[in-house]
Structure 1
Amino acid sequence: MSTALRTTPYGTGGGLLVTPAEPSAGPGALAGVEPKELLDLLAEAGFLLLRGFGADMASFTDLVQRTSTSTTLDPARDFYSEVAQKVDAGHAEVGLHTENGNSPFRSHLAWFFCEKAAASGSQTTVCDGYRVWDELAEPVRTAFLGQDIVYSRHVAEPQWRAMAHHLTGRPAEEIAVEELVGLAASMPGTEVTPEADGGVRYSFRTPAAAPTLFGERISFANSILGPSFNYEKPRITFADGQELSAELLAAVNETTGALTENLDWADGDVAVIDNTRVMHGRRAITDPRRTIYNALSFVEATEPVAA
């Protein structure tokens, strides 16, 4: 039996707070959330915060799996269910980014389950790339439309082997670096070069602003402001090798800062974000008891998704 939903605006943009239409829905209500209805709401809102559904790890995992055609992961994080990994990026503030946005593995959706909310601060942040693109000054928009950006960095051998294992299903120790190079060559915009220490250097070319999962409207959704907690910080340039100027980054910071909103978590909340449209980050952790898990997934798109 499906759970009837009630929606109210969340924040100043398109985001929605989604609650059961009947307050007495109680534990287990998340199992009645229909994937199509959820995705239809997400297409309009960009992000949804689901509250009051009695969510736990099992029902969160079930919702992700029912809504998605496949899931992906960060090989540097531990699993807590078939899809969920603990958010463990230290305690410092985390800049805005799309999940896996600096690699060819960006997911369509980013999911979060709050098992234990913080007593203070520690909010997840969201920033709608549609709004950012509309507010950026014309010279900034022109710069980012003029050419792609390129992320490049060194990846240590244990890390690339973990990812190769995930992609191929074969034991990590049996995968030759030449196979990874060949695999990367099949991914648009991606190059991998072996290095003497056993690691590799990869580069990934992609637009900073592009259409989204649900339509052709341009969104400024990328990882140029984002973190590198488990990996070396990438070098980010334009496709011609030119650095992103301090003035350009300052303009992006000013615009995104004015449009960034907080997700104020409560125990049992679930959030789902269109990872092709909305960037997310985090305020500094002030309560280390905060416990949040995330999952990354793909869905059937009605329009092509730009990498």
Structure 2
Amino acid sequence: MKETLTIEGGPLVLTPSDTRDLPKALTDHREEVDTRLTEQGAVLFRGFDMTTPEDFARFGRAASAARLDYTYRSTPRSTVTDGVFTTTEYPADQEIAPHCENAYQRTWPLKLAFFCQTPATTGGETPLADLRAVTAALDPDVLDRFETRGVRYVRHYRPHIDLPWQVVFQTDSREGVAAYCADHGIDHTWLDDTTLRTAQTSQGVAYHPRTGERVVFNQAHLFHVSNLPPETARALTSLYGPEGLPRNATYGDGTPLAPEELAAVRDAFAAAMVTFPWEAGDVLLVDNMRMAHARRPYEGPRKVLATLMDSYAPREREGLKGGRTR
């Protein structure tokens, strides 16, 4: 593969040299790609023969023997083929804020990949934000509080509000929900016949397993009520009360998160974001603990798929500084 371009603050672009078969090229140049992924945080493969979801599934199998399912979901998506899913199915006029995949969970993918089968007519980019820059922009006291207290995510599942619990847990069985929650340290309570409440305390920061760097790693800025438009937040609070919101987040010990601290987190992500245009056939490989990703609004058809790879649970890694999960 040939290095053709490094987008400043964004992905390294690699193009074909000896073969246009991306899974084969990845296998042949695995050490080089792994090194560059650690250095750069994201690698964009462009100009290879990638046209179908099945092509992308082959890439996923070549990139990792350990791909993940989307369980305990926070956004709507659909399974396309083996280990391949749609990206978040929000309306085209909505922006998806920068985040690291599954950072609200205690276990997350170390890597993920996106495949642009059809770029949007206008917009629809997948911006990236280097977590080192985001973390450096935050008050160290805030990072220390995130580390020592963690983040507690509270969700209420009701009919016709947010995602149904059946979609989130990928089961129609209450027993299945109970088993999943027991296995993953999630408190769950049925408040009535149709209302499920869950709560889980997860990490606020994490330490990269290869570089040892501390990075902010949570989704408090997305789950907290301050992320909603003010009129929506007021309406939901009036309807369900502050303790019954569809989603909210606090510090792990129950201490409220200050809206101004979360605003600073959002500002840090926004300042670090780098955007590049999608081309049909592009595959973007991302280090999920180095780069956050987002989505711009768009017009026209857009089909971008995703796959998750290499599950990581720092609480199980002995000797990892700061690696425990609360």
Q: Distance in 1 between matches of 2:119 and 2:102?
A: 25
Structure 1 length normalisation: TM-score? 0.81
Q: 1:152 aligns with which of 154, 166, 169?
A: 154
Q: 1:85 is aligned with what amino acid?
A: F
Offset of 1:207 from its aligned partner? 1.9
Q: 1:50 aligns with which of 42, 45, 52?
A: 45
Q: Distance in 1 between matches of 2:268 and 2:5?
A: 25
Q: Distance in 1 between matches of 2:182 and 2:40?
A: 35
Q: Distance in 2 between matches of 1:301 and 1:222?
A: 14
CA separation of 1:247 and 1:78: change in aligned 2, threshold 3 A:
closer
Aligned residue number for residue 295 of structure 1: 307
Q: 2:58 aligns with which of 52, 62, 71?
A: 62
Q: Which segment is superposed worse, 57-66 or 294-303?
A: 294-303
Q: Which segment is superposed worse, 47-56 or 295-304?
A: 295-304
Q: Contact 1:124–1:282 at 8 Å: present in 2 too? A: yes
SS in 1 for 2:123: coil
Q: Aligned-pair RMSD on alpha carbons?
A: 3.0
Offset of 1:298 from its aligned partner? 1.8
Offset of 1:137 from its aligned partner? 2.7
Q: 1:289 is aligned with what amino acid?
A: P
Q: Distance in 1 between matches of 2:302 and 2:208?
A: 31
SS in 1 for 2:304: strand
Q: 1:191 aligns with which of 169, 187, 193?
A: 187
Q: 1:10 aligns with which of 7, 11, 19?
A: 7
Aligned residue number for residue 237 of structure 2: none
Q: 1:86 is aligned with what amino acid?
A: T
Q: Distance in 2 between matches of 1:211 and 1:244?
A: 22
Q: Is 1:72 aligned to 2:69, yes or no? A: yes
Match runs of 1:96-175 below 5 Å? 96-104=98-106, 106-155=108-157, 159-162=164-167, 164=169, 172-173=171-172, 175=173
Q: 2:57 is aligned with what amino acid?
A: T
Q: Contact 1:149–1:206 at 8 Å: present in 2 too? A: yes
Aligned residue number for residue 35 of structure 2: 40
Offset of 1:159 from its aligned partner? 4.2
CA separation of 1:280 and 1:300: change in aligned 2, threshold 3 A:
closer
Q: 2:301 is aligned with what amino acid?
A: R
CA separation of 1:70 and 1:36: change in aligned 2, threshold 3 A:
farther
Aligned residue number for residue 204 of structure 2: 208
Aligned residue number for residue 169 of structure 1: none
CA separation of 1:184 and 1:248: change in aligned 2, threshold 3 A:
same
Q: Could you tell me the percent identity over the aligned residues?
A: 23
Q: Which segment is superposed worse, 268-277 or 139-148?
A: 139-148
Offset of 1:176 from its aligned partner? 3.7
SS in 2 for 1:132: helix
CA separation of 1:234 and 1:11: change in aligned 2, threshold 3 A:
farther
CA separation of 1:11 and 1:199: change in aligned 2, threshold 3 A:
farther
SS in 2 for 1:186: helix
Q: Contact 2:143–2:216 at 8 Å: present in 1 too? A: no
Q: Distance in 2 between matches of 1:267 and 1:243?
A: 44
Q: Which segment is superposed worse, 137-146 or 244-253?
A: 137-146
Offset of 1:30 from its aligned partner? 4.0
Q: Contact 1:121–1:283 at 8 Å: present in 2 too? A: yes
Offset of 1:233 from its aligned partner? 5.2
State how many pairs are aligned.
288
Offset of 1:7 from its aligned partner? 5.7
Aligned residue number for residue 81 of structure 1: 81
Aligned residue number for residue 282 of structure 2: 269
Q: Contact 1:154–1:200 at 8 Å: present in 2 too? A: yes
Q: Distance in 1 between matches of 2:312 and 2:204?
A: 23
CA separation of 1:61 and 1:251: change in aligned 2, threshold 3 A:
same
Q: 1:6 is aligned with what amino acid?
A: E
Per-residue CA distance 1:270-304 (angstroms, 9 max, x = gap): 1121223321111122x231211111222689994
Structure 2 length normalisation: TM-score? 0.77
Q: Contact 1:144–1:208 at 8 Å: present in 2 too? A: yes
Q: Distance in 2 between matches of 1:65 and 1:201?
A: 36
